[in-house]
Amino acid sequence: MMLLETVKARLGAERVKLGHALAGFEQDEDSVTARFTRRRDPTTPCDIPEFTADAMIAADGINSEARRIFYPHEGPPRFSGRMLWRGCLEKEPYLTGAR
């Protein structure tokens, strides 16, 4: 949530569109146009059905649509059997506080 709030503060809350999923994209020498669908209901139109920019960063997670487009024969990610738990805690430094 801290990252989301920082993005909203720097770019403006109206620039953040949640619930969109990458459906595909086209690229030429000058720009890339990304197409979106609703994540939960692809039949409902999105707030922004497509967007054109100079570059696209596909940070769409483990089940990446961008990865599927670039590597169609790769298949879904394989579960390694390991679980990763992340957390953070605000506390006084332990010993020297060095990392």
Within 10 angstroms of residue 34's Cβ, the number of other Cβ atoms is: 21
pLDDT at site 99 = 63
pLDDT of 25 above 70: yes
Maximum CA pair distance of the chain?
56
Least-confidence region, from 10-19, 48-57, 84-93: 84-93
Mean pLDDT for all residues in the chain: 88
Question: Where are the chain's structural domains?
Answer: 17-70
pLDDT in tens, 34-49: 999 998 888 888 888 9
pLDDT-derived band at 61, boundaries 50, 70, 90: confident
